[in-house]
């Protein structure tokens, strides 16, 4: 098994040992010079760390865990990687194949549990299966639309003998990860773009998965097309690019959301029309002709009906499309975004980044951290208000610079994911934003930071609430704050117990000096920033609503 991983270029593994995988860990002892193993504190942390590692490095993340509860603790991370198209190879120990089905100690049906939430699951029952299974696993995980693959490794297969051989997989008869681009469809799409008066590009995570960032920028620049990004598509184009107009969706920027209602052409690239982007899918961009470019055919017309679809890798499709695009200037169309930006700046951004309230606001903290850390830093978020504020106000100049849980919305994702991101890119600053709730879901992974000296900069936006749920309770449930207020521990004392420098930030005057100390101090650092408890994330399009329902603040809609 270890030789097979080395053949696939693996150098880092995140895992947690147990009885059914002891033989693997025993042999790992002899491979310390070739395989770095990061011992997490909980198996869920291993999957999220591997996700962070994969998303920043572009490699396939690798996870080890034992059978039974070790394997079931991985399910959240596998599910998260599956919906967010993150390549993982997850290897679980299993009881001996002769005992399968007997309810032996720590037996669980790993294949049955993981098949619905993975790209492929396979149980290795003989030593001879190992090279074939590992080679196939890495090929499936990393090609086409990436995703997690699970290998359940029976104990007798772990200790069996075989004649060693290894061949990398580059073809599976029933699996075509990179379909040929339909040039007739390219011609039709080019014609639609060339005659369009008000086009928009909706860029998703698939742009970065395919390494199509340059092609995306070239398409936008050649035809003067504004670009909007999904949450996971952020950093596909630099924040400073003049044609980048903001983030789509429920808490996205005003301009791009408003212009989804009056553009005449939507060019969706590597995104899946998620409900948090579209709101009411049946009316989303109803006035526009829609083009959908994606490598996963199952996404076509699943949520939003499109007029043209192009199946293929985003980079290959855009390379074929670019020579057919005519140069066009769209000054008037682009100026409309500027007008929306002015309204958003006055109504939302300025009050959030330069608030007049006595207590600090999440938006000003994120903006200041981004300013001090610089736009080459990696942003990692947990889930909730911290995630939305961080994605709105953090600046990016490089691709693969945001690591967040999109489709599954996994609280507790961020801390282990930030560890994986820093392991992948030790020279880049990694800034992790979390709430007081999400921090406590995987807080045990501070032990990994302590043991390995991983220099993550952690900012806890602490409002003593489960903030996003509280926001919904305020807006839609008559301010009935059921089980959202939280009594929190002393995070600085906890950090100190793990040997991590930390400080409380209780006033605006303390904020910038504290951020500068954090960024300039080598190694890990934690800021516990006390935030106004009733802060809300705006703009907001209510779930299932339309852009016309977009709120700028409590009691005020954009279109009123």
Full DSSP string of 35-68? -EEEE-SSHHHHHHHHHHHHHHH-SPEEEEE-ST
Residue labelled with tokens 């000003």: 364
Give the pTM: 0.97
Q: Given 7, 36, 106, 506, which residue is catalytic? A: 106
Let me know how many helices (H) and strands (E) the chain has, helices first: 24, 20
Cβ atoms of residues 213 and 399 within 8 Å: yes
- Tell me what the mean pLDDT of segment 551-558 comes to: 94
For residues 490-504, average pLDDT: 98
Q: What is the 3-state secondary structure (H, E, C) of 279-332?
A: CCHHHCCCCCEEEEEECCHHHCCCCCCCCEEEECCHHHHHHHHHHHCCCCCCHH
- The pLDDT tens digits of the residues spanning 230-276 come to 999 999 999 999 999 999 999 999 999 999 999 999 999 999 999 99
Concerning whether 315 is annotated as a catalytic residue, the answer is no
To the nearest 5 percent, what fractions of the chain are helix, strand and coil? Answer: 40, 20, 40
**Which of 266, 411, 468, 551 does the annotation list as catalytic?**
468
Q: Which of 43, 51, 445, 503 is catalytic?
A: 43
Cβ contacts of 55 within 8 Å, gap of 6 or more = 86, 400, 403, 417, 421
Residue 363: pLDDT band (50, 70, 90) is: very high
Q: Is residue 294 within 8 Å of residue 311, measured between CB atoms?
A: yes
Greater confidence, 327 or 61? Answer: 61
The whole-angstrom separation of Cα 398 and Cα 244 is 14
The reply to whether 468 belongs to the active site is yes
For the chain, percent of residues with pLDDT exceeding 90: 99
CA distance 481 to 324: 56
Examine the residue annotation and report whether 155 is marked as an active-site residue of this protein: yes
Per-residue model confidence as pLDDT tens digits over 457-494: 999 999 999 999 999 999 999 999 999 999 999 999 99
Q: Minimal CA–CA distance to 130: which of 19, 43, 6, 44? A: 6
H or E element in which residue 380 lies: strand 378-381
Contact (Cβ atoms closer than 8 angstroms) between residue 421 and residue 378: yes
Residue 551 is predicted with a pLDDT of 96
Q: Among residues 271, 221, 323, 85, which one has the least CA distance to residue 260?
A: 271
Active site residue 105: yes
Q: Please, which pLDDT band fits residue 560 given cuts at 50, 70 and 90? A: confident
pLDDT confidence band for 543 (50 / 70 / 90): very high
Tens digits of residue pLDDT in 327-347: 889 999 999 999 999 999 999
Residue tagged 């993982």 (tokens): 88
pLDDT tens by residue, 367-404: 999 999 999 999 999 999 999 999 999 999 999 999 99
* Mean pLDDT value of segment 42-52: 98
Looking at 59, 119, 155, 245, which residue is catalytic?
A: 155
Q: How far is CA 504 from CA 312, 462, 490, 495, 514, in A?
A: 49, 10, 9, 11, 9
Average pLDDT of every residue of the chain: 97
Do residues 91 and 121 make contact, with C-beta atoms less than 8 angstroms apart?
Answer: no
- Choose among 335, 291, 58: nearest CA to 185: 291
Q: Which of 34, 105, 195, 516 is catalytic?
A: 105
DSSP 509-520: HHHHHHHHHHHH
By CB atoms closer than 10 A (0-12, 13-18, 19+), residue 222 is: middle
Alpha carbons 439 and 432: distance in angstroms, whole number: 10
């Amino acid at each position: 098994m270890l030789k097979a991983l080395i053949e696939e270029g693996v150098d880092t593994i995140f895992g947690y040992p147990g009885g059914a995988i002891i033989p693997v860990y025993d042999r790992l002892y002899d491979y310390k010079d070739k395989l770095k193993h990061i011992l997490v504190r909980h198996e869920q942390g291993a999957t999220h760390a591997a996700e962070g590692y994969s998303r920043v490095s572009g490699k396939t993340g690798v996870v080890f865990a034992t059978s039974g509860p070790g394997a079931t603790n991985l399910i959240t991370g596998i599910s998260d990687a599956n919906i967010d198209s993150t390549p993982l190879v997850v290897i679980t120990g299993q009881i001996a194949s002769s005992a399968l089905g007997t309810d032996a100690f720590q037996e669980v049906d790993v294949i049955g549990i993981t098949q619905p939430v993975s790209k492929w699951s396979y149980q290795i029952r003989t030593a001879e299966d190992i090279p074939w299974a590992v080679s196939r696993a890495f090929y499936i995980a990393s090609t086409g639309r990436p995703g997690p693959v699970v290998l359940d490794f029976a104990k007798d297969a772990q200790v069996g003998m075989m004649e060693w051989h290894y061949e990398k997989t580059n073809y599976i008869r029933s699996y075509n990860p990179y379909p040929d681009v339909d040039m007739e469809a390219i011609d039709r799409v080019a014609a639609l773009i060339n005659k369009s008066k008000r086009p928009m590009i909706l860029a998703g995570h698939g742009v970065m998965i395919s390494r199509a960032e340059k092609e995306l920028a070239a398409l936008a620049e050649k035809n003067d097309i504004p670009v909007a990004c999904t949450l996971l598509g952020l950093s596909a184009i630099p924040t400073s690019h003049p044609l980048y107009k903001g983030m789509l969706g429920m808490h996205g920027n005003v301009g791009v959301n408003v212009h989804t209602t009056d553009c005449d052409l939507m060019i969706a690239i590597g995104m899946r029309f998620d409900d948090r982007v579209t709101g009411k899918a049946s009316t989303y961009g109803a006035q526009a002709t829609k083009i959908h470019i994606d490598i996963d055919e199952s996404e076509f017309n699943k949520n939003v009906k499109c007029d043209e679809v192009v199946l293929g890798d985003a980079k290959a499709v855009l390379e074929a499309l670019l020579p057919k695009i005519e140069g066009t200037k769209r000054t008037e169309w682009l100026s409309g975004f500027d007008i929306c930006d002015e309204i958003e700046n006055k109504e939302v951004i300025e009050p959030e980044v330069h608030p007049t309230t006595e207590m600090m606001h999440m938006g000003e903290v994120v903006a200041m951290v981004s300013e001090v850390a610089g736009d080459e830093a990696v942003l990692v978020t947990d889930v909730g208000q911290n995630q939305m504020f961080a994605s709105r106000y953090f600046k990016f100049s490089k691709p693969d610079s945001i690591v967040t849980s999109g489709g599954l919305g996994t609280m507790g994702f961020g801390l282990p994911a930030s560890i994986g991101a820093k392991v992948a890119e030790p020279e880049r600053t990694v800034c992790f934003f979390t709430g007081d709730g999400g921090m406590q879901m995987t807080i045990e992974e501070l032990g990994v930071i302590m043991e390995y000296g991983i220099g993550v900069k952690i900012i806890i936006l602490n409002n003593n609430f489960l903030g996003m749920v509280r926001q919904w309770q305020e807006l839609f449930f008559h301010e009935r704050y059921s089980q959202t207020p939280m009594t929190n521990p002393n995070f600085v004392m906890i950090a100190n117990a793990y040997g991590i420098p930390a400080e409380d930030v209780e006033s605006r005057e303390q904020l910038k000096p504290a951020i500068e100390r954090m960024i300039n101090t080598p190694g890990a650092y934690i800021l516990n920033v006390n935030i106004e408890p009733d802060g809300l994330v705006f703009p907001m399009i209510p779930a299932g609503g339309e852009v016309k329902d977009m709120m700028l603040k409590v009691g005020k809609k954009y279109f009123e």
